[in-house]
A and B are shown apart, each in its own frame.
Chain A
Amino acid sequence: MDFQFTAQQEAFRQEIRDFLRQELGPDWRGGKTHEMFSREFSRKLGKKGWIGIGWPKEYGGLGRPHMDQLVFGEEMLYGRAPAAAHILAQNMVGPTLINVGSEEHKKKFLPMILSGEVVFCLAYTEPQSGSDLASLQTNARAEGDYFIMNGQKTFISFAGDADYGWIGVRTDPNAPKKHRGISIFIVDMKTPGITTRKLDTMFDHTLYEVFFDDAKVHKSCVVGQLNQGWYYITQALDHERVFMAATIAGYQRIFDEIVEYAKSTKRDGKPISKDPIVQQKLSEMAIELHVGRLLGYRLAWLLEQGIVPYSEASISKVFTSELEKRLGNLGMQVLGLYGQLQRGSPQAPYDGYLEWEYRFSPMQAVGGGANEIQKIIIAIAGLGLPR
C-alpha cells in the first residue's frame, strides 16, 4: 500500500492552488450570496484547459487519470472555485455524450462545454417523482420528426440561466417496466413552451421549476437511443463519483477557518481553542474529516482500477453529507453569538460564511439521492439484503 500522491500530482496541486489564488484572491467566499456560479470563471478555466481534464484526449480532454482528477477536485473545492456554471455539463452531459451520443451531439456540444461557454441544467426531479425517480411523468409524444413535451420539473439548479436542458422524459408510457420508457433530451431552454419559475431556498440560492407546455423539439434532441434514458442517468452518476471523492476538501477549508477563529479569538480572556469542550468537538471533526478524505481516496482508487464503486460512492455521499451538517453546526457553535451574523454585517466572522453554511448544509443529504435511499442501495446492492 502507498497513500502518497506522486511528485507530479503534488506539482499539479500547487499549480491549481497558484492559479486560484491569482484569479480569486485568498479571501474568496463565493459571489453575492456565496454562490459558485460564474460564467466568466468557467470561461477562464476553459481557456486554461481545465474543464474536462478527465475526458479522453480525442474529445478534447486531458485524459488525466482519476487520481489527478481527485487532486484537481480537492483544490477547486478547497479554493472555493466558482465552477458551478460548467460542472453539470462537465461531469454528466459530456461523459454521457462521449459514451452514447450521436456524432452530431458530440460535435456540437463537447467543444462548447470544454470552453466553458455553455450552461446546462439537469432536469430529472418532478413534484411527484423525487426518490422514486423512475416514476417521472413529464412526457414527449412523437409527431413526425418532432416530439411534443408536456409536464413539470422541479428543484432544478441553474434552469433560469441555462442555455440547454438535459431532461429526463417519459417516451414510452406502455413500457413493461417504468425504467424502460424514459429518454434523455437535450433541449434549448429558449424553446417556446418551456418556462421557468424561481424557487428560492433558505440558503439563498435559486432553484427553478420548469414547465413544458406543448414544447416542440426536433427528434435529433434525443440523446443516444430512445427509451434508454434510465441507463444513461445511472451511468452518468458514475462519472460524478470522482468529483464526490474530493468533497471533503471543501469542508476541510471550512474547518481550517473554524480552527483559525478558535485560536485567534478570545472569550473570557482566553482563546476559545483553550476551552476543553471546544477542543473535544474540533478534534472529533478533525478525525471525521480524515476518515471522509480516505473514503474519497478509496473511491478514486477503485475508479482508477476500472471498478465502478456503487456502494462505496453511496457511503461516501452519506458520510460526507451528514458530516457537513455537523460541520455547519460546529462552526456556529464555536463562533457563539457572532455565529448568527450574516454576510453584510461588519462584525460577521468570515463574512458570514459559517452562518450561511449552516443554512446550506442540509442540502447535500437531501439532494442527489436522499441519504435514506443511498442506505437502501448499500443494503440491497452492496450487502445483499433481501428486498
Chain B
Amino acid sequence: MNLDLTEEQEMLRTSARDFLTKECPKTLVRKLEEDEKGYSPELWQKMAELGWMGLVLPEQYNGMGMGFMDLVILLQEMGRNILPGPFFSTVVMGSLPILHAGTEAQKKEFLLKIAKGDAILALAFTEPSARYDAAGVETKAVAQGDSFIINGTKLFVENAHIADYIICVTRTKKGTTPEDGITLFLVDAKSPGIKCEVMPTIGADKLCEVVFKNVKVPKSNMLGKLHEGWPVMAKTLEYATIAKCAEMVGGQEAALEMTLAYVKERVQYGKPIGSFQVIQHYCANMWMNVETSRDILYKAAWNVAEGLPGSASEVAVAKGWINEAYKFVTERAVQCHGAIGTTRDHDIGLYYRRAKSGELAFGDTDFQKELVAQKLGL
C-alpha cells in the first residue's frame, strides 16, 4: 500500500494551484458565469501551453503521456479554484473516448488539435428522459449511403454552444438490451441541422439543449463500432464521474479553508467565532467530510486508472459519498459565514451552487445508491 502522491503529482498540484490562483481569480469566474461563451480564450490558450489539454494523451499526439491519477490531481485544483470553461467537456468527455475507441486517423485528427487547444469538444449523451443509462438514448442515427443521419434532442450537454465537435451518442438499432444498438459519432458542430441553446443552470456551467435535425455525419466519423458503442460510453462515464468527484473534492477543500479563515477572524461577543465550540464542531465535521472524500476519490480513481475489476462500484461509492459531502460542507460554510455568505458578492455561494450541480452530473446520490445496491446483490 502507498497512500502518498508521487513527487511529480505534488509538483503538478502546486503549479496548477499557483497558475489558477493567478490566472483565474473569482472576478473572472463571476464574469464568465454571465458571459455568453463561458470561457476565456486567452486562459484556454495558456492552459494549452502548459500541456494540460494533452496531459493524459500519448506523446505522439502532442500529449504529456501522464496518467489518469495525474488528471485527477489537476481536476481537483480546477474544482478548488472553480475554473469555468470547456476543459472537462473537451478533455474528459472528448479526448478520452477518442483515445480509447478512436481509429488512428481519428486520433490524429482530433487529439492533436485537442492537445494544442485548437478544438473544443462536447459529449451529447443525456436526453429529455434525463437518465444516465443506455435506456435513455433515443436519438436515432440511420445509415444512408456513406453517411448516417441523426435525429433527436439532447439535453444537459455541457459547452455544446462553443464546441467544434460534438460526440453524439445515438441509437442505431433496437437491440435485445438497452445497451445493444448504441453508436457514437463525432459530429462537426457546424453541421447543418444542429440547433443549440444554452440553458440557465444552478452551476452556470453552460449546459445546452442540442437538437439534431437530419444531421448528416460521414461513416468515417463513427467512434468505435456500430451498435457497440455502449462500452465506450460506460467507460467514459466512469472516467467522467471520477473526474467530477475530483472537482467536487477540490471545491470542498476551498470551502473549508475559506470558512476556517473566516471564523478565525470574525469577532462576536468579543471573541473570534471560531473559539465557540459549536463552530468548532461544525468545522470538525466539515473536515471529516473533506478528508473522507479525498480518500474515497483517490481509492476509486486508482481502481479506474489500474483498470481493476469492480471499479464501477468503487466509482458509485465515491460519487455517492462525495455528492453528500460537498453539499454538507458548503451548506455549513454558508452557515458559518452568516448573512454575508448568502450574497452574490461572496465566493462561498459559487461553491454552494456547484455542490448541487456536481451532484446532478453523472448520477445523483440516489442513482449511485442504486448501483451500490445492485453490487450488494439486493
A379 in contact with B283 given A5-B1, A263-B378 (CB within 8 Å)? yes
Q: In the complex, A2 Cα to B69 Cα: how many Å?
A: 11
Task: Considering the complex, give the chain B residue whose CB is closest to the CB of A274.
Answer: B378
Q: Which residues of A contact B2 (CB under 8 A)?
A: 1-2, 301
Least Cβ–Cβ distance between B74 and chain A, in angstroms: 15
Q: Does B277 contact A (CB under 8 A)?
A: yes
B292 interfacial contact with A, CB 8 Å: yes
> Can you name 29 A-B residue pairings with CB atoms under 8 Å?
A1-B2, A1-B5, A3-B1, A4-B1, A263-B377, A274-B378, A278-B378, A282-B376, A282-B378, A283-B320, A283-B373, A283-B376, A286-B372, A286-B375, A287-B317, A288-B321, A295-B292, A295-B295, A315-B288, A318-B288, A372-B281, A374-B284, A375-B285, A376-B281, A378-B283, A379-B280, A379-B283, A382-B287, A385-B275
Given the known inter-chain contacts A287-B369, A385-B274, please indicate yes or no for A294 contacting B292, CB distance below 8 A.
Answer: yes
Q: Indicate with 1 or 0, residue by residue over B69-104, a CB within 8 angstroms of chain A CB atoms.
A: 100000000000000000000000000000000000
**Bound form: Cα–Cα A298–B1 in Å:** 10
Tell me the nearest residue of chain A to B2, going by C-beta: A2
One digit per residue, 1 when the CB lies within 8 angstroms of any chain A CB and 0 when it does not, for chain B 15-39 equals 0000000000000000000000000
Question: Is B264's CB within 8 Å of the partner chain A?
Answer: yes
Contact with B along A81-125 (1 / 0, CB 8 A): 000000000000000000000000000000000000000000000
- Which A residues contact B (CB, under 8 angstroms)? 1-6, 67, 259, 262-263, 273-274, 278-280, 282-284, 286-288, 290-291, 294-295, 297-298, 301, 305, 311-312, 314-315, 318-319, 372, 374-376, 378-380, 382-387
Contacts of A318 in B (CB 8 A): 284, 288
List 11 additional A-B contacts (Cβ < 8 Å) besides A3-B3, A3-B302: A2-B2, A2-B302, A3-B1, A283-B320, A284-B320, A291-B317, A294-B295, A301-B3, A382-B284, A385-B264, A386-B264
> CB-CB < 8 A to A3: which residues of B?
1, 3, 298-299, 302-303
Q: Does B279 contact A (CB under 8 A)?
A: yes
The reply on B370 being an interface residue by CB < 8 A is yes
Contacts of B3 in A (CB 8 A): 1, 3, 297-298, 301
**Which residue of the partner chain B has the closest CB to A301?**
B3
Complex Cα distance, B326 from A159, in Å, reads 45
Is B226 an interface residue, CB under 8 A from the partner? no
Is the CB of B193 closer than 8 A to any CB of chain A?
Answer: no
Q: Is there an interface contact between B1 and A286, defined as CB atoms closer than 8 Å?
A: no
- Interface pair B69/A1, CB less than 8 Å apart: yes
Asked if B292 and A385 make an inter-chain contact with CB atoms under 8 angstroms apart, the answer reads no
Contact between chains at B376 and A1 (CB < 8 Å): no
Among the listed A2, A6, A298, A375, which residue makes an inter-chain contact with B295, where contact means beta carbons less than 8 Å apart?
A298
Closest to A70 in B: B1
Q: Is B198 an interface residue (CB 8 A)?
A: no
Q: How many A-B residue pairs have CB under 8 A?
A: 143
Pair B317/A282 contact, Cβ less than 8 Å: no
Contact yes or no, A286 B317, CB < 8 A: yes
Query: B5's closest neighbor in chain A, by CB?
Result: A1
Across the interface, do B284 and A378 meet the contact criterion of CB distance under 8 Å? yes
> What A residues does B4 contact at CB under 8 A?
1, 301, 305
Q: Please tell me if B109 contacts chain A, counting CB pairs below 8 Å.
A: no
Pair A259/B376 contact, Cβ less than 8 Å: yes
Check if A385 sits within 8 Å of B1, measured CB to CB. no
Residues 249 to 281 of chain B near chain A (Cβ within 8 Å): 260, 263-264, 271-272, 274-275, 277, 279-281
Q: Contact between B283 and A291 (Cβ–Cβ < 8 Å)?
A: no
Q: Which of A286, A305, A375 contacts B281 (CB 8 A)?
A: A375
A303 to chain B, nearest CB (A): 11
| Assembled-state Cα–Cα distance A278/B287 (Å) | 29
Q: Are A383 and B284 in contact (CB under 8 A)?
A: yes
On chain A, the residues within 8 Å of B369 by CB distance are: 279-280, 283-284, 287
Which residues of chain B are near A288, meaning CB under 8 Å?
321
A315 interface neighbour in B291, B321, B373, B378, Cβ under 8 Å: B291
Residue of A nearest to B319 (CB): A287
Please tell me if the beta carbons of B372 and A283 are within 8 angstroms of each other in the complex: yes
CB proximity of B116 to chain A, nearest CB, Å: 30
Given known A-B contacts A2-B2, A274-B378, A279 and B373 have beta carbons under 8 A apart: yes
Alpha-carbon gap, A311 to B302, bound state (A): 25
Q: How far is it, in angstroms, between the C-alpha of A37 and the C-alpha of B291 when the chains are bound? A: 35
Is B291 in contact with A290, judged by CB distance below 8 angstroms?
no
Q: Nearest Cβ in chain B — how far from A365, in angstroms?
A: 13
Give chain B residues whose Cβ lies under 8 Å from the Cβ of A380: 280
Task: Please determine whether A291 and B296 come into contact, CB atoms closer than 8 angstroms.
Answer: yes
Q: How far is the CA of A189 from the CA of B295 in the complex (A)?
A: 45
**What are the residues of chain B within 8 A of A298 when measuring CB–CB?**
3, 291, 295
Quick one: closest A residue to B375, CB to CB?
A286
Residues of B within 8 A of A280 (CB): 366, 369, 373
CB within 8 A of A279: which of B263, B288, B296, B378? B378
- For A376, what are the chain B residues with a Cβ–Cβ distance below 8 Å? 277, 280-281, 284
Q: What is the 8 Å Cβ interface bit string for chain B, positions 337-378, against chain A (1 contact, 0 not)?
A: 000000000000000000000000000001011101101111
